[in-house]
Structure 1
Amino acid sequence: MGLFSRGSGQQVSEQQVLAALSKVQEPELGGDLVSRRMIKNVKIDGGTVSFAVELTTPACPLKDQIRSEVEAAVRALPGVSDVQVEFTANVRHHAGIPEQAAIPGVANVIAVAAGKGGVGKSTVAANLAVALSQEGASVGLLDADVFGPSMPLMFGVRGQPGAVTGEDGQAVMVPLEGHGIKLMSVGFMVEEGQPVIWRGPMVSQLLRQFLYQVAWAPLDYLIIDMPPGTGDIALTLAQSLPLTGALIVTTPQQVATIDVVRAMEMFKKVNVPLIGIIENMAYFLAPDTGARYDIFGSGGAARIAAQQGLPLLGQVPLGMAVRAGGDSGTPAVISDAPDAYAEVFRGVARQLAARISVMKYAGA
């Protein structure tokens, strides 16, 4: 416990610092930071008070608000001349995952799904994975779209996974890495351009190996790029994966949102929580005039979100740099091109991480 005094004779103690911080509320989860045990390592050195705030995710979208409020609360104490705040994160395991199904060392498993193909589901999955990593999270991505694997191209990664001996003495695959993301895809197992002609049981067995016989740990988030639609493989995966929840991707047009409802009903029937909806290709901004064009209509995702009682986590515009990034193996979120919409993807990633944290505390 530290004490200091200044010329005025005023003193501040660790108890006073904690008392001040106990008046700062966690903006999304509720409750004060001290009661939630989010304040760590309080130190007092002369007029300087330093401490860490342990967030539920490194991608917290309200980090700046929390910093401002804790600094103001402590700086108001007599004798404090400087406040130094460090942010750490403890991404908790999702309580809804049965212990026997949990993937060792993986805190959250998130399905990125769509009711139909062609809505940019894989593009969204790839960019969200990189965006979460940019925020400081450890992230893996499993390409479960076995008949249309696209992650090797989108990340510019080629080769075959290696193998090591796990703690139980069994061989496990070592995922390849691209842009800081651990990757596994059937695309690494077959020659480029060759079709995958497998029946459902073979696919399910392979994906189970990709989940439980791969050295994923440690991960805060494992993103699963689901196969499109609600067919047998998608249903089997939804039933068998240890999912924290499902993130639904759609475009604004009605022909896409109709299928989105079917996909959401599939997840509901197998008791997988729905995290939220992302509207991809929401609109197009002409680079020469700045004019907005609603190429696929407008408002479709917002209507579905309102009907289903789910948050619309973000709207990603249609951009040529987004498409180019997927073709070149450099996800758009890494680019600084205006029509890569990197900050939009990062904003969606923060909302996703925050929503998962809230769902955990709500017992979802």
Structure 2
Amino acid sequence: MRSELLMIFLFVPLCPTVLHALRYFSTASSGVPNFPEFVVVGLVDDVQMVHYDSNTQRAEAKQGWMEKVTADDPRYWEKETQVSQRDQETYKDRISTLKKRFNQTGGVHTYQRMYGCEWDDETGVTNGFYQFGYDGEDFIAFDLRTKTWIAPTPQAVITKHEWDRDADQNERWKNYLTQECIDWLKKYLDYGRSSLLRTELPSVSLLQKTPSSPVTCHASGFYPNKIMLFWTRDGEELLEDVDHGEILHNHDGTFQKSIDLDVSSVKAEDWGRYSCVFLLSGVKEDIVTKLDPKVIKTNWGKTEIKRDGENAKSTGVTIKPVHTSHSGSLIT
């Protein structure tokens, strides 16, 4: 019985789930020429929707759908502006304080804050985060479980003790990060549903620089960025002889990613056993691209694999229900 359960588990694909996130980044700086002293950027699923800086002195929408926010809160933009203006003065003073603690004079310095929350729309699991950095290094972070502050550097211990004593404020931050932030995240996702919750399948190409180079499986134009991209041999995911690239942004708001396969030890007659598989969260089909020399785009020949609309149009590409056995982790 145990072996039967194991076999069933092995053949259940681990499909990527959508983890939505709301993040705010605040940056105060000194000594940086031609750059605002204070900047705030708000993002939903890596899409910027709010901006404030010390030059304009006002919070502004960066997406058309953010104008809908006034239906829920008519004073939204006024309050966002006021909060950012207060933080601007506070963070300017903190840079002066930290320069003394670190025994610094002059130069370029930055004080940054990042806070927000995450929500898994399938499991309902949430998470919150609130942390600060100084000059590119971690300075202090909030522990949601204990509602206390973690100081990774000696210069932050004074701040930790001061903030730990304000139990009421820490309780408010926990409530915001675990409840209010999640509520706003869901509202923003609803406002921008047509763009934030869309799915776009990519074009998939096989690339090779030289006959001895790895073969690159390149997927570009997908959305969202919750995907899996991996090589298989005889239907099983390859964990060796592969090199994962990072997920990168395209200028049109979509994403791209590559994965290399070392073919130096692959016999010519075995190439047909290999395939590149692309999985996109929310899509029940995978894109399977067979390792075929005829469809590899190289520096010494021009062939390409493309996906046009709902159909894959080129030799070596098939689209079929997800069934491939693999143990890959979610690429984020």
Which structure's residues are more often strand, by fraction? 2
TM-score range, shorter chain: under 0.3
Structure-1-length-normalised TM-score? 0.20
Larger radius of gyration: 2
Provide the TM-score with structure 2 as the length reference.
Answer: 0.21
Greater share of residues in helix:
1
Higher relative contact order, chain-length normalized (CA < 8 Å, sep 6+): 1
